[in-house]
Chain A
Amino acid sequence: MPQPLHYLKETPSQTAGPYVHIGLAPGAAGFEIFENELGRDIAGPDAPGERIRVEGLVTDGTGAPVKDVLLEAWQADASGIYPHAEDPRHADCAPGFRGWGRVITDFDTGLWAFDTVKPGAVPGRNGTTQAPHISLWIVARGINIGLNTRLYFEDEDNGADPVLGLVEQAHRRDTLIARKTAPGHYRFDICLQGDAETVFFDI
């Protein structure tokens, strides 16, 4: 027997279940308990940049909307700076910019939406530049481990993005591009399974 490595093992994931709102969005579950429900304001009122609204549906393998999903968004500010100590430029991040938000789908329609500012481009690996994007994390009943994807914008130059470039089939890259529906409005549908399946990442 070789020597043991002694790393701990990551705690296994479990589904967030149908009542995820109780813990993470109790107002939607039907009761008010916390003075400050977290995740409602990604950018804050003072961050510069283009104010945008993104909305969409999550659909399952039968094409039906998933009405009990919870999404979290993580993004840089309009200058491409994350409010986190490991972004070397974090001291210059927009004031009041949190970068993180949490939204749930409407129980009747399945639509979700969040308001934010459009992120700037951020550095990639090895001197590359990543096109503006928002990282998304999706949990729900029936999803055993949170799904990671990215939202890009159709009105940005995505041609040189190193992550999109990893997607071998060109038509699958389109599943990561939010469509502009009106000034400042984008549509981003997520398909969990099937012909139009969204690209998910093992990050």
Chain B
Amino acid sequence: MKPAEYYMRDRNWQPPALTPNYKTSVARSPRLAMISLENTVSEITGPRFGHEDLGPLDHDLIRNYATTGDPVGERIIVHGRVLDENARPVPGTLVEVWQANAGGRYRHKKDTYLAPIDPNFGGCGRTLTDAEGYYFFRTVKPGAYPWRNWVNNWRPAHIHISVFGAGFTQRLITQMYFEGDPLIAHCPIVQSIVDPGAVDQLIAPLDLNAGIPLDSLAYKFDIILRGRRSTLFENRLEGN
């Protein structure tokens, strides 16, 4: 069997390892070139997850850590599809998210920001895409967050997103930003991405159609994973 390989990553589109304005990258970026590897079974396979791995509220950040009431903040739905570069859905794949609360405070023992913890908000969730690659979460919109980089750096409101895809080579972690946030242009982590079109791909637009009147706003965020190369000797070239 000849495995169908994944398209190579566009390393001009992806952020480079060394981006000195994001200071921590200076000592944590390799100086030598990566060695390019053609796919083997080790790369085209990857972990699979099922509904038995998840709990019933794992996708609902408004409910999954609430004890005395709902968390404080702007109620939102984040939804979209996981597709590959050929615009084909990636079904049954695990999507995990984590974020700060409405005030920009993370529930993490290393976060010492003075904004308070919300007793009813944990800040993480996970779900599986359906047969069409669709996913959604319910949460509150995270607040901006200060960090020690430049003297006065603030992260834009963002949600961290982790997605697996079908093969280990598609594994990806990224961050979703919100349409219209003026901090996006000032953020050295966002600007680790060189191509402005690639930055746009991380900005979720407001999606009034997906919101719930008198309940929640919605933002739409599609996630694109690497596509797969044509396999020779099939009737139709895969992906073409």
Contacts and interface: CB of A to CB of B under 8 A. Distances in A.
Contacts of A146: 171-173
A202 B14 CA distance: 12
A102 to B, nearest CB: 9
A142 B147 CA distance: 13
B19 A144 contact: yes
B61 to A, nearest CB: 10
Contact of B40 (A24, A100, A123): A123
A33 B15 contact: no
Given A10-B10, A17-B160, A62 B193 contact: no
B124 A22 contact: yes
B208 interface: no
A114 interface: no
| Highest count of chain B CB atoms <10 Å: which of A29, A76, A124, A167 | A29
A19 B98 contact: yes
B28 A140 contact: yes
Contacts of B192: 14-15, 144
Interface stretch (A34-42, A44-52, A179-187): A34-42
Contact of B46 (A10, A12, A36, A74): A74
Contact of B227 (A7, A22, A34, A166): A7
Contact of B45 (A18, A21, A23, A82): A82
A131 to B, nearest CB: 11
Counting chain A CB atoms within 10 Å of each CB, which of B45, B85, B97, B123 scores highest? B45
Interface in A130-151: 130, 133, 135, 137, 139-147, 150
A122 B168 CA distance: 16
A163 B41 CA distance: 13
A55 interface: no
A193 B29 contact: yes
A197 interface: yes
A143 B28 contact: yes
B214 interface: no
Interface of B is mostly: loop
A31 B98 CA distance: 13
A178 interface: no
A100 B164 CA distance: 11
Nearest to A69: B28
B46 A84 contact: yes
Given A137-B168, A202-B37, A31 B107 contact: yes
Contacts of A193: 27-31
Q: Which 10 A-B pairs have the closest CB atoms?
A: A23-B98, A142-B24, A100-B47, A142-B28, A84-B45, A30-B109, A144-B15, A61-B27, A14-B175, A202-B34
Interface of A: 7-24, 26, 29-31, 33-36, 38, 60-62, 64, 66, 68, 72, 74, 76, 82-84, 86-88, 98-100, 107, 122-125, 130, 133, 135, 137, 139-147, 150, 163, 166-167, 192-194, 197-203
Interface of B: 1, 3, 7-11, 13-17, 19, 22, 24-32, 34-49, 53-55, 58, 64-65, 83-87, 94, 96-99, 106-111, 122-126, 160, 162, 167-169, 171-175, 189-190, 192-193, 197-199, 201-202, 223-227
